[in-house]
Every structure is written in C-alpha cells, then in structure tokens.
Amino acid sequence: MNRRDFTKKAGLAGISSIVATDIVFREMMPKGYVPLAFQDPDPFKMFQKDQQMVVLNDRPWNMEAQAHLLNDAVTPNKYMFIRNNGLIPEELDEATWTLTFEGESVKSSKQYSLADLKKKFKHHTYQLTLECGGNGRSEFDPPAKGNQWTVGAVSCAEWTGVRLKDVLADVGFKEDTVYVGYYGADLHLSRNPNKHPISRGVPLHKAMEDETLLAFQMNGEDIPLAHGYPLRLVVGGWPASTSGKWLHTLTLRNQVHDGEKMQGSSYRVPCETVAPGEKVADADMCIIESMPVKSLITGPKTGAVINEGQRLDISGHAWAGDLAVKGVDYSIDFGSTWQPCSVASAVNRLAWQHFKASIELPKKGYYEIWARAEDTKGNRQPMVLPGWNPKGYLNNACHRIAVKVV
C-alpha cells in the first residue's frame, strides 16, 4: 500500500485526529476523495517524529532511531521507534474504551472502562526499557527475514498506569493460570476483522511483577496514537512485542497463549545453537523471554572528528532484560584491551542505565570505540554477532562508533 492508499483507507475520523481539528463539510466530500493536505502523508508529521528517524516499512509502519538520537535519559516520543504488525486503529474513543478480562482461567469475565481503571487502582510510574526482539537484525548473515533494524529499535520512556497484578487480583483467576495473552485494536493488513495481526503474552509470574503496567500515559502525557493510545500493556525487559498496544482484551490461560505471533519462528529462537542458515523445526524453537545484556554508545555520533590531544567523552545506555547491568567497558583497539566506564544505577528496576567515559586517544588516525556491558550474572556482550537464528533475533554484539583524530 502506498501512502496515498493509506490515507484513503485511514478514515475521516483518523485524519481529523491527525490534524487535531474537525474537517468542516466532511459530509460533502466526494466518496474516495483524499484531502489535499494528505495526498502525500508525511510519517514524521503524522507520528511527530524527528526527520532523522529511519522509515523501514510503511505497511505496517516501522521506524527506528539512529544511535545518536537516543542520548536522552528518558526517550522522548520524537525518537521512539515504532514497531507495528498491523494497521493503526482508525477510530478510537477514550470515553467508551473498555478492557475485558476473559479466558478459561478467569473466575468470571470482567470489564473495566478506562475511567474505572484510573479511578479504582493506584497509579504507578516507571522508566521501562522496550526493545524489539529483532533489533540488530541487519547484521545477520545469512540475512534473516523481517525489518532490517540496525540499533535504534530500543527506548526507555516513562510510563504511567496501574499495575496489572492489582487489576488481576480484583478480577480473580484460577490456580491453573499460567499465561496472560493480549488482544489489541490494530487491524490485520488484509483488513479481515477475523484475523489478528498479533496476540502475544507473558507467563503469569511476569504479569505479576510490580513494573508490568496497564499504561495510559507516556512521559507524563496521553500515550501517542502510534504507541498504543489510549491503553497499552507495558512489560519491561522482554521483547517489546509482549507490550500489546491499543489494548482491549486480556485472556487468562491455563496453557501458553497460542495467539498470532506465538507460534513457529515468531519471537522464538533455536533452543540449541545451530549453524548459520540451518532449518529448525518449530518444536525445537523456544519463546524469547528476558532480553540479553546490551549497550549503545549514543554520544558522540559515529564519524566524529576531534583534534590531537583532545579527550573523547563518550556516553550511552546499557540494559540487561530482567537483570541489572554490573558494568560497561570500552575498547579503542578492537577489543584487545578494555577499560571501565562509570555506570549509574537504574532509576528503577527494568530501566536502562547510563554510562560515560573520558578517553585519551594516543595519536592521529582512525579509531573505533567499542562498548561491552556485563549483567549481574556475569553475562557479557559478545564482540561479534551471537548465534544465528532464522528470524535474526537477539543480536547483542558490541556496539561501536568510528572516530578520527586529526
């Protein structure tokens, strides 16, 4: 679908929400007509993204940041990656929005309005790291199918909402509950209402963590449309695909949820290491849970040029799924030797941690600055691409930037 077709199918209500005003005389508009202002929609304006963001796909919309754009301690909307599996919902009404709890393990089906959730349960705010499971896919060889993310499909925004565990306690669930699956209002690419573009979930123990939220605010404001307005499940430290957007239903299961993108090779990796390009049976694939330890140099931008004798100050973030980051080191000699960075403690559990270092480069010439993080269990980032898998997930190889001393 090209951008013109996208606009034709977006619906007048959706277009009105983008321009933040009513389309006067819209009932007089000829059938199929595209308003002049939207005949070539600009995704940067539609989603309020910085022009330096990179569009990987427009059906569905997928955008990523460049490393240097992610230098903020808390990621602003303009630099947050977009990962969609379907079409963004066209008509949303916060006033009538409901969240339904159902499934074979719920004691009794229950429904809450958004107002109910906000009024009945205590609000909590956390900074939570969300990373696409395929972040770094572009480095895999043989190439893996899917959006060719580089390093920018990660963010750490501030999310506000109610704890899922508090709502589950109010709903009531049976002892056989093992999984919580979600359904959102996004549309399948085919527009078939009987098909779901994605319906994933998490085990009960992850759903019951303090930081797992039913969120209605991001960075102190209503969640932007592209990031799940008006209600989103936010599950820090696990693949961002578990954080269902436009959330309207949660299903309590007595088995692993079997919704769309829970089967086959979707968000799964081989349970045992395989050779690059090897075919892997579905039965030998394991669901991705906690993301691996990783770091990102966000300053300076790769390609920086400094004068001889000038120190190079670097900064960045590191994260480790369910764990914390124990330390971050840097190397200027392609990993032959490593020196420590200073690393700040996380603001809260599952938030990324900030690191920095001041580096002396010995003489003129070309350098690569590499960063390597270690988690609290002693796991370190590999210097090169980790084990190959069919969908190119979990690339946590050392990030590096190029620097020239003149």
**What are the residue ranges of CATH 3.90.420.10 in the chain?**
94-287
Listed in order, the ranges of the chain carrying CATH 2.60.40.650 are: 294-405
Q: What is the mean pLDDT of residues 195-215?
A: 98
DSSP 8-state secondary structure symbol assigned to residue 385: -
| Contact in structure between 314 and 400 (CB atoms under 8 Å) | no
Distance CA 208, CA 342 (A): 33
pLDDT of 149 strictly over 90: yes
Q: How confident is the model at residue 31 (pLDDT cuts 50, 70, 90)?
A: confident
Q: What percent of the chain has pLDDT over 70?
A: 92
CA-to-CA distance for 388 and 274, rounded, in angstroms? 7
Helix 12-19 vs helix 3-10: crossing angle, to nearest 10: 100
H/E run at residue 183: strand 179-184
- Asked whether 310 and 299 are in contact (CB, 8 A), the reply is no
* Contact by Cβ (8 Å): 198, 257: no
| Residue 253 scores a pLDDT above 70 | yes
Note the pLDDT tens digit of each residue in 52-105.
Answer: 999 999 889 999 999 999 999 999 999 999 999 999 998 899 999 999 999 999
Burial of 305 (0-12, 13-18, 19+ CB in 10 A): exposed
Q: What integer is the mean pLDDT of 348-361?
A: 98
Q: Calculate the CA dihedral of residues 29, 35, 39, 43 and round it to 10 degrees.
A: -130
> 294-405 maps to which CATH number?
2.60.40.650
Would you identify the CATH topology of the domain 94-287?
A: Sulfite Oxidase; Chain A, domain 2 (3.90.420)
Answer whether residue 44 shows pLDDT above 50: yes
Helix (DSSP H) and strand (DSSP E) numbers for the chain: 6, 24
To which H or E segment does residue 168 belong?
A: helix 164-171
The pTM of the whole model exceeds 0.75: yes
C-beta neighbour count of 354 within 10 angstroms: 22
Can you tell me the distance from the alpha carbon of 233 to that of 250, in angstroms, rounded to the nearest whole number?
10
At 43, phi and psi to the nearest 5? -60, -30
**Sequence-ordered alpha helix ranges (H) in 211-309:** none
Would you place residue 39 in the very low, low, confident or very high pLDDT band (cuts 50, 70, 90)? low
Nearest 5°: the CA angle 278, 281, 285 is 95
Mean of the per-residue pLDDT values of the chain: 93
Alpha carbon 57 to its chain centroid, in Å, reads 16
| Mean pLDDT (whole number) for 115-138 | 98
- DSSP track, 51-95: TTSEEEEETTEEEE--GGGG-SSS--GGG--EE-SSBPPS---GG
Separation of alpha carbons 257 and 235, rounded Å: 16
Instruction: Among 241-245, 381-385, 395-399, name the one with the lowest average pLDDT.
Output: 381-385
More confident residue, 22 or 226: 226
